[in-house]
Structure 1
Amino acid sequence: MSSPIPEPVAAAPLAEPPAPRPPSRRRRWLGSLAALLVVLALGAGAWYLIKRSNEPTGGRAGFGPPGSTVGHAVAQRAELPVTLDALGTVTPLATITLKPQVGGVLTEVLYTEGQAVTKGQLLARIDPRPYEQALMQAQGTRVRDEAQLEAARVTLARYRTLLTQDSIARQDVDTQAALVKQLEGTVITDRAAEAAAKLNVEYTRITAPVAGRIGLRTVDPGNTVTANASTGIAVITQMTPIDVQFAVPQDRLPDIETQLAKGAALPVKAMDRTRSTTLDTGTFSTLDNVVDTSTGTVKGKARFANAQTTLFPSQFVNVQMTLRTIGAIVVPVTAVRTGPTGSYVYVINEDRTVSMRPVKRGESTVEVVAITEGLEAGEKVVTEGGDRLKDGAQVLLQGDKPAATPRQGASGPRARGEGRRRQPPPQ
């Protein structure tokens, strides 16, 4: 007998998940506290960084390495020349274009291009034969007219004798006297023509009017030249002595006029483009008579011997003129800095700290500057490395040995670890 089949049992319905419980008050309080701690930590870190950035570069006392090495110089009293620096142009005393005074064939050129010539030296020659013939003709005319004048004078003397004997009319005497005067004028004219012919013959010899350096040749022998040609046959430039023209600020005019009134010779140096080499030394000569309103300067000239011909016409040079010398406390130019309140220097104290001290500048040169207020002779100032310094910073001078880095305070991690010994592992 078969067993009865059990009836299927209906499955129990699935239980619904419980609804999420709202966070408790304790958990919310802990979250707010954690956020507050994060904000406080960020604020403390920012405050520490700002405070550290305001500390001197050399670091706080007892923490970190000492300050960086800086260059220094000692303020000292010296005679400082008051100078005027300008850009000048070399100007020759004379630049002469050799132009023929008569026309003709250029038969000889007796100079070499770029040659140094002396005054009166024969440089070229024009064919003189036409002018020599004209001179001979003028001489012949003069001799003929002088002979006629002599004959007229003899006749006039005879007429005057006859007039005293009442053997000739006075009108004939007066006419003969007028003829003598006429012939005298003719002879004077002949002599002038003869002198002009002689001058033309001399003009066929072209000579140097001044000593200097001759330029490039523009006409070759065999060419026909004309009188007073615009180009000429060459140009002579006087090299020794030579002038340098430069601009003087109008504010410096009283100083220059005062020194010139005393009869003082103002020395002037002409230097090359880099101001590293002195080409020649000379003296100030003169000022122009008017101020250029567009630049506020006056043209000045200085004269140089130029014995070595180191100055070349139209060359640009750096001019340095010494007006006077003054006694002052000087420091290198690199020691003086400019801030919002004016000029200042970093003074190095005995404990190797620096103090920022305002100063008043005076006259200066390319290398040093005068300090009229704020600094005494013998004090040390920073010349290099001042860009990374602050007032009160610790520095090292060149040649100083850096001190050993001190350890941190007892509150540091190293102090807390000092004195501890490694415990042996438990057995």
Structure 2
Amino acid sequence: MNPRETVFLRAAAPLALAALICSGCSHKAAETDASAQPAEVTPTVQVASARRGTIEDRLGASGTLMAMRSREATLAPAVAGVLEALPVRVGQTVTAGQLIARLSNRTLLGQIDQAQAAVQQNQVQVQQAKVNALQQQASSRSAILQAQAALANAKATQGVAEATLIGDEAAVTNAQQTLARTQNLFGEGLVAQKDVEAAQAALRTASATADAQRQTIAAQRQTVEGQRRAVEAAQAASLQDVVKRQDIAVARQQVRSAQGALETSRAQLTLYTLRAPLAGQITAVGAAPGEAVDTTVKLATITNLDVLQLQMFITSEKARALHAGQTVSFQTDSLPGKTFQTVVQTVGSQVDATSGSIPVLATVANPGHLLKDDLYVKSQIVVDRHVGALLVPKSSVLDSADGSHTVVTVTADGTAHIQTVKTGLREGDDVEILSGLSASDRVITLGGYGLPDGTKVTVAKAEAQP
């Protein structure tokens, strides 16, 4: 039996029943007006035109919005101590670098003051060492110059004495020669004895003068040697310059050591202050000022809600149709009437042991922070989307037990025809028609059930909107 016969039989049954009910009164009607003929009844139906449009296949799923773990920070102290300040509260928005907590650090501040004083003291010692070195250098240079000048003067005096000795020795030689000539002349009787004696006296005088000059030169040589030793002593004393420069190096090293101690104390000071590593919202506070805390205490949790992660769990069978890039829309009871959209980011490859489902993840931009962490949502994932599909209202499609589908069309002359169609996607009140219908056809949306094929119908004036 074809679909048209099925529809015809469904329509004929109620008509036959109506005929039996009215048969008892037919004679009475004939007696009243034998000439009256029963008017033909034309069913009134509502129709809609098939249209082209977009239809989507959506997969519904529940999910949870969560803060991105990479955008969340839990702050705990790096050292044990007493919590001095915690100037934030749950729900407060903070910026990166903002003070979150401070531990008492009075002892450390005292150590920093001492370290600063030590740095300043050692810097003064460096300056004093420089002054001492300059003074020592000037003194050493002056002593060397003076010794060198005295040595030069002694050498000059020695030179003069040696030059004088040469003249004196020449005088001795001349006196010796004069004495020899005089003695020869005396032997020849040419000069008197007194002339010989005078020559002898002159020789003695010249020799005495030369001997005295030699003694002077010997003494001057000792003076020169003494001045040379004085120069060497002054030069040796200048080695103290090196010692003074070493004093400067030692003082500078002491400054560096003091600065290192100061920097260490300042670095430790940062351990007593906790600042926000990222901008976000305070979602938890775990202590109060005045409490003793250690490194295990979570003082505050900061969550950045600019981007959230939507986690959905889909059965492995349905997850086969999912892939990255598919559109996801979702709603939450906390924001009624608002719909948010994102896209699938990843589809898990392994079944979750707890839920037995595949995790599907998406990131959600949240610039106004309307959405909160750990928020339950109802989502729909667009699995398929057909653009330009032929669509008819769901009420116009008649589903048979054998899985076939029919619609009843109405021609321009008001004749109803049963059409077997192949359906595709269904969304809301729309059904996609893959074959058996064209865009120019009108389909009955109300009153078409049970109509025999070829029945004349009256179309209601207001067509139902598809």
- TM-score for both structures, normalised by structure 1: 0.56
The verdict on how the C-alpha distance between 1:321 and 1:49 changes in structure 2, with shifts beyond 3 A counting, is closer
Question: Counterpart of 2:360?
Answer: 300
SS state at 1:269 partner: strand
Q: Does 1:67 align with 2:43?
A: yes
2:52 pairs with one of 77, 82, 104:
77
Whole-angstrom CA distance in 1 between matches of 2:114 and 2:451 = 98
Q: CA deviation at 1:85?
A: 3.4
Partner amino acid for 2:391? Answer: V
Aligned-residue sequence identity (percent) comes to 25
Q: 2:424 aligns with which of 362, 371, 382?
A: 362
Which of residues 221, 226, 245 is equivalent to 2:289? 221
Aligned length: 295
Name the counterpart of 1:310: 370
CA drift at 1:385: 5.5
Q: Summarize deviations over 1:23-51 as a string: whole Å, max 9, x none.
A: xxxxxxxxxxxxxxxxxxxxxxxxx9875
Structure 1 position 226, deviation (Å): 2.6
For 2:283, the aligned partner's letter is G
Structure 2 vs 1, CA of residues 249 and 137 (structure 1 numbering), >3 Å: closer, same or farther? farther
> Which stretches in structure 1 are left out of the alignment for 5+ residues?
1-47, 56-60, 143-186, 402-427
Letter in 2 for 1:331: V
Listed as ranges, the gaps of 5+ residues in structure 2 are 1-11, 20-36, 120-255
Hey, what's the Cα distance between the residues in 1 that align with 2:306 and 2:293?
30
Q: 1:109 aligns with which of 86, 89, 96?
A: 86
Whether the aligned pair in 1 keeps the contact of 2:81 and 2:104 (CA below 8 Å) is: yes
1:100 aligns with 2:100: no
Please name the residue that 1:329 is paired with.
390
For residues 316 and 357 of structure 2, what CA distance do their matches in structure 1 show?
Answer: 5
Residue type of the partner of 1:237? T
Which amino acid is 1:287 matched to? V
Q: Which has the higher helix share?
A: 2
**Structure 1 segment 196-215 matched on structure 2, within 5 A:** 198=266, 200-215=268-283
Q: Which residue in the other structure is 2:310 paired with?
A: 244
Alignment deviations for residues 170-192 of structure 1 (CA, whole Å, 9 cap, x no partner): xxxxxxxxxxxxxxxxx99x97x
- Aligned partner of residue 339 in structure 2, secondary structure: strand
Structure 2 residue matching 1:245: 3-state secondary structure: strand
Instruction: Name the structure, 1 or 2, with higher relative contact order (CA <8 Å, separation 6+).
Output: 2
1:377 is matched with 439
How large is the Cα RMSD of the aligned pairs? 4.4
1:384, 1:274 → 2: CA distance? 39
Deviation per CA, 1:291-327, whole angstroms, max 9, x where unpaired?
3488774211111211122322222223233455434
Deviation (angstroms), 1:84: 3.8
Structure 1: which amino acid aligns with 2:61? A
Deviations 1:97-151 (A, max 9, x none): 3333333222222224312222222122221224445778999999xxxxxxxxx
1:184-219 per-position Cα deviation (integer Å, ceiling 9, x unaligned): xxx99x97x988765542232222222222135443
Q: Which one of 344, 353, 363 corresponds to residue 284 of structure 1?
A: 344
CA contact (8 A) 1:347 1:379 kept: no
Q: Does 1:349 align with 2:383?
A: no
Q: Aligned with 1:375: secondary structure?
A: coil
Q: Give the Å deviation of 1:83.
A: 4.1
Distance 1:221 1:201 in 2: 18
| Aligned CA distance change for structure 1 residues 141 and 365 (closer, same or farther; 3 Å) | farther
8 Å CA contact 1:87–1:317 kept in 2: the answer is yes
TM-score, scaled relative to structure 2: 0.52
Q: 1:64 to 1:255 in 2, by over 3 A?
A: same
Q: Deviations over 1:252-281 (max 9, x none)?
A: 666555xx5xxxx44333334599844333
Please name the residue that 1:423 is paired with.
Answer: none
Could you give the per-residue CA deviations for residues 354-385 of structure 1, whole angstroms, max 9, x where no partner exists? 44444332223334232223322222223345
Conservation of the 8 A alpha-carbon contact between 1:102 and 1:228: no
Question: Residues of 2 paired with 1:349 and 1:279: CA distance?
Answer: 39
